[in-house]
Amino acid sequence: MQTPILVVGGAGYVGSHMVKRLRRNGYMPVVLDNLSQGRREAVGDAPLIVADLHDPGALEVLFQAYPIRAVMHFASFIQVGESVQQPARYYENNVSNTLVLLETMVRHGVDQFIFSSTAAIFGDPQYVPIDERHPTLPINPYGKSKLMVEEMLDDFARAYDLRSICLRYFNAAGADPDNELGECHEPETHLIPLVLQAASGRRAAITIYGEDYPTPDGTCLRDYIHVQDLCDAHLLALQALSQGAPSARYNLGNGNGYSIREVIAAAERVTGRRIPIASGPRRDGDPARLVADATRARQELGWQPKFGDLDTIIAHAWAWEQRLHPAPAPLRAVPAPTPVNQERRQQDRRVAHRAA
């Protein structure tokens, strides 16, 4: 019998990719999603329970119907600016609703939990790249809500022996290499799909918010991690917990920071299109650099990103954008990145970080 794994938020961006990965690896994903942001078709033929996390009755029915062995939690609100304007919404969904889920797990003896956390728990970085020893000083309600869940999990481990692995994403990006899944946020807030909307003509321009940061070209640096590599980390975390591993926290990123202008330039290479740029003021809470040190995940989980090259990440995202919204043919052919030039770009980025 296949092992049932509950995927909360499994109809969303990262969750739906994880559902596909679980099925390919012999698990039985059971999806809980209220479809406020997810898509029913994204879960394929996996069981889908349409309900809210704050409905304990629906959770009771689910846990009675399926012998859940572990839970993966992706159902969070993630917009930093919105969290500042509507903090109550974030604390209710990201914290209170997660508490309802954890209480249900304890009642049903489910003791393995994988949590989708975030680099926002660190706040303004005191150093980069950021490792797990970095102080956690979130500067917005989104980051605070995620850190609160991590702290709750520490308490649940002590009181109820509920073991958890928190995976702190830096910037999730890309799309399914098979072009079956990708980002479909409404409204879209992530940089790469916004840049590609400008490339396809669905957006007049991409706005750069702040061009006077202490970085080589004045724009913010971010660490982009392919959604498939995130799924690899979740699968490794699941396997670790199933083998009795203790609770742990891991930063997930490639260790390469790319500026906004570098992302735009890469998108122009991949798409063969000129991308219009507009200038805007700095946004509150935007650190100049956010780059991960994922050494611990590599050493303890055996995690190894496979799609670390920015051009590859953008190429997969562009294929998804083209599938949903076909655009005219590129102005010029752009060769796919080869393993050699992928590695060279990554080496160049690491050298640049050390020099910065």
- Catalytic positions: 142
Could you give the 3-state DSSP secondary structure of residue 130? strand
Closest by CA to 29, choosing from 37, 297, 55, 42, is 42
Evaluate whether 316 touches 174 at the Cβ level (below 8 Å).
Answer: yes
Q: How far is CA 340 from CA 25, 229, 336, 354, in A?
A: 29, 19, 11, 22
Separation between Cα atoms, residue 335 and residue 348, nearest integer Å: 20
What length does the chain have? 356
Distance CA 314, CA 61 (A): 41
**Alpha-carbon torsion, ordered 214, 216, 221, 225, to 10 deg:** -160
- In whole angstroms, what separates CA 350 from the centre of its chain? 22
Q: Give the number of other Cβ atoms within 10 Å of residue 207's Cβ.
A: 15
Burial of residue 131 (number of CB atoms within 10 Å: 0-12, 13-18, 19+): middle
CA distances from 130 to 142, 167, 262 (A): 19, 14, 21
Cβ-based neighbours of 16, under 8 Å, separated by 6 or more: 10, 38, 39, 42, 43, 181
